[in-house]
Amino acid sequence: MEEDVEFVGRGATVLASVVATVPPIGGRAAGRAGRKDAVALSTPLGRKSVRADLEQVFRATYPRVVAVAARVLGSRDQAEDVAQEVFLSFGRCTVPAGEAVGWLCVAAAHTALNHLRTGRRRASREEAVGVGDVASPDVADMVVTRDERRRVRAALARLPRRQAVALVLRHSGLSYAEVAAALDLSPGSVGTVVRRAESALRKELNRHASSD
């Protein structure tokens, strides 16, 4: 039911956009997808139309993909833009449907980190965070919260990519088994990777706090 509710809004529009955009491979969609270096885990479909299971996978995974991107970006609107990019790539690839969740989540994390690192949407992101904090009754608290979020996201963007993705996936609600499958890790090693990522994030935050 929750996924249906999520899908009724912009999700349906995004799906229609993806389906409409994917068929002319080599056009605008290919150019947009080509600009991102999320992951290259698949073989292109070639000049065929959108994969037949796209809508089914989209309906089942769209909220989760948006959630992963939002965890990095802190903005629902920008996370939905990232999801659209990710599904455009998925629509042209041959990743098995059974592996779609992991592929899409990793792609969302990579793409969102790319956006974060390039800073090309920094202004609108900070503005969006500000809008979300409007309900705060204390302006000082709002400013502190916004600054903390900015510092955490900046530190996340400086981590080694594999650590950052593992951390984002785990804190987006993926199980150890799902993170392991998505990143081609052994399930027993996921906890270690995540703990190291958390430690690296804390060190990065402390390092920049001391240099401020």
Q: Which residues of the chain have pLDDT under 70?
A: 1-12, 18-48, 120-137, 210-212
Classify residue 25 by its DSSP letter.
Answer: T
Spatial CA neighbour of 42 closest among 113, 110, 109, 99 = 99
What is the pLDDT, as a whole number, of residue 48? 56
What is the pLDDT, as a whole number, of residue 116? 85
Contact (CB, 8 A) for 67 and 173: yes
How far is the first Cα of the chain from the last one, in angstroms, to the nearest whole number?
46
Looking at the chain, list the stretches that DSSP marks H as alpha helix, in order from N- to C-terminal side.
2-6, 12-21, 28-35, 54-73, 76-91, 100-118, 122-132, 139-158, 161-171, 176-183, 187-211
Contact (CB, 8 A) for 181 and 151: no
User: What one-letter code names the amino acid at 44?
Assistant: P
Contact (CB, 8 A) for 88 and 32: yes
- Locate 211 and state its tokens: 């240099």
Token pair 């599904």 is at which residue?
87
What is the pLDDT, as a whole number, of residue 100? 93
Identify the bridge partners of residue 44 per DSSP, sorted by sequence position. Answer: 93
**pTM beyond cutoff 0.75:** no
What are φ and ψ of residue 136, in 5° steps? -60, 130
Q: How far apart are CA 1 and CA 8, in angstroms?
A: 11
Q: How far apart are CA 188 and CA 152, in angstroms?
A: 27
